[in-house]
């Protein structure tokens, strides 16, 4: 087993825990909808995060081309997986005590949630650089432009409770993430 495979095992466990947490939370909504009423904007972010976690495994495959791994690089990749896990964990709390429904929970925890999403965009840029300048250039100008836009929109989302903003942001981000994945990462070779 080379260092990439070794790193992939640990990060896969972390990402897998995030996926399991999201699936368990979603199943809980189906099993006990009376405990906490779902909120469609929250569910879009659950879908966005689930897709991002699954997609993460696909795009991290390119790290296998790195010949020399350092402890700092290893920690960076593990950190990226941890940030994604934390975003997953925030979407479904262990207890809804103190919250009437997921709408109330979503807006109460929006600063943490969108702060973590913003952090993932910053870390993603570093991750993209690790894959090489050619990889970054291959993504075209769309990548840095949307990265900055996503980061700024997350900052706005942290501070506003405007439901129209949050609804539009959730729809656009989910659609964009799916579009980006299918347009840019059809193959990993």
The pLDDT averaged over each successive group of 10 residues in the chain (189 residues) is: 84 96 94 86 97 88 83 94 97 92 96 98 92 88 95 98 98 94 68
Residue 102, classed as helix, strand or coil, is: helix
- What is the pLDDT, as a whole number, of residue 188? 53
Q: Kindly state the tokens that stand for 90.
A: 């925030």
Q: CB under 8 Å to 125, separation ≥6 — which residues?
A: 144, 147
Give the domain ranges of the chain: 3-184
- What is the pLDDT, as a whole number, of residue 58? 79
Q: Within 13 Å, how many C-alpha atoms sit on residue 57's CB side?
A: 16
CA distance 62 to 127: 10
- What is the pLDDT, as a whole number, of residue 187? 59
CA distance 15 to 78: 10
Sign of CA dihedral 166, 169, 171, 177: negative
- What is the pLDDT, as a whole number, of residue 32? 84
Percentage helix, strand, coil for the chain under 3-state DSSP, each rounded to 5: 80, 0, 20
- Report which of 31, 28, 7, 187 is spatially closest to residue 80, judged by C-alpha positions: 7
CA distance 134 to 136: 5
Query: Could you tell me the pTM of the whole model?
Result: 0.92
């Amino acid at each position: 087993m080379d260092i990439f495979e070794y790193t992939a095992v640990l990060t896969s466990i972390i990402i897998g825990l995030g996926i399991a947490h999201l699936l368990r939370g979603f199943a809980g909504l189906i099993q006990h909808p009376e405990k906490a009423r779902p909120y469609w904007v929250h569910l879009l972010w659950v879908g966005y995060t689930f897709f991002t976690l699954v997609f993460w495994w696909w795009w991290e495959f390119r790290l296998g081309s790195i010949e020399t791994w350092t402890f700092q690089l290893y920690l960076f990749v593990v950190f990226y997986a941890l940030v994604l896990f934390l975003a997953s964990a925030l979407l479904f709390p262990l207890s809804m005590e103190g919250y009437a429904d997921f709408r109330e929970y979503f807006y109460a925890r929006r600063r943490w949630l969108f702060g973590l999403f913003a952090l993932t965009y910053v870390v993603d840029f570093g991750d993209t650089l690790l894959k090489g300048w050619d990889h970054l250039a291959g993504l075209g100008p769309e990548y840095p432009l949307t990265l900055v836009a996503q980061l700024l929109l997350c900052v706005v989302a942290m501070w506003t409770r405007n439901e129209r903003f949050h609804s539009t942001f959730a729809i656009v981000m989910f659609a964009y993430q799916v579009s980006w994945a299918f347009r840019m990462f059809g193959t990993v070779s």
